[in-house]
Amino acid sequence: MSNGNGGEPIQEDGKTLFALGEVDGMVVITFPRPISYVKFEPENARALSEQLARSAYRAHYNLPAPAPGKSLVAEGVRRKLHARATLIIRSMMEQNKRPDYIANQVVDQLLKEIDS
């Protein structure tokens, strides 16, 4: 099945079940025929959810998803915290604050971000 969106076909017993990809910042699932419902074994449902999360990450950030096994949620939090820390450090360096003061402020702000 060619879905025109670069999505990878998901197959079982040589038959394409659906294709999953990204188009214009959206996650797209393409089915080769009309369907009325979808039923998955638990492990297959977990694998699908991981693939959906990877497609969502690529669509949202327009970047390759983290390596398999690496948490996509943790990577999203990491990006947010990195941006916050960079902003704090730049601002405080411009104010000629001491490194230990900057470190304390960064840690406090990052912990506050994690708790919220």
**Can you list the positions of beta strands (E) in 24-92?**
26-30
Residue 32 CB contacts under 8 Å (≥ 6 apart), including other chains: 1, 16, 17, 18
Residue 100: predicted pLDDT: 93
Residue 7: predicted pLDDT: 67
User: Could you list the mean pLDDT of each consecutive 10-residue stretch along the chain, which spans 116 residues?
Assistant: 54 77 89 86 84 86 77 77 92 95 92 79
